[in-house]
Amino acid sequence: KYTKFSISYYWINSLLQKTIIYSRVENIAIPSGEENKTAALSYDHRIMPLENTSSTGTYYCEVKWNDIKKMGKGVFVLIRDTGYINTSYSWEILVTLTVLLAVLSITATALLLWKRK
């Protein structure tokens, strides 16, 4: 019953559209004396090449037996164009905010001392 199964690889894009990438049927022979034992088999599939940024999405593997379907948790893949530079300004914003608060603090202290005199 469990020796014949299908393996499918597919992805779901940001619009929740499912696209099958690859699918195959396996028929595994059970060696004599190995019946009624649990077996684990690994299947790797390389998705190459990822054409463009529209290939961004969550990729899944699914295995189907006659009455059972098991699906992986999925792997999110973010595709960027060649030459993409990550523009993270968090460090610059933190330094700018700290300098601004320091200048305002010094100015407020100077004004308070000047009004006291």
Residue type, 87: T
pTM for the full predicted model: 0.56
- For the ranges 16-20, 69-73, 89-93, the one whose mean pLDDT is highest: 69-73
At residue 100, does pLDDT exceed 80?
yes
Tell me the C-alpha distance between 105 and 4, whole Å. 73
Residue-level length of the chain = 117
Q: Is it true that the peptide bond before 49 is cis, omega within 30 degrees of 0?
A: yes
For tokens 């022979």, name the residue.
Answer: 29
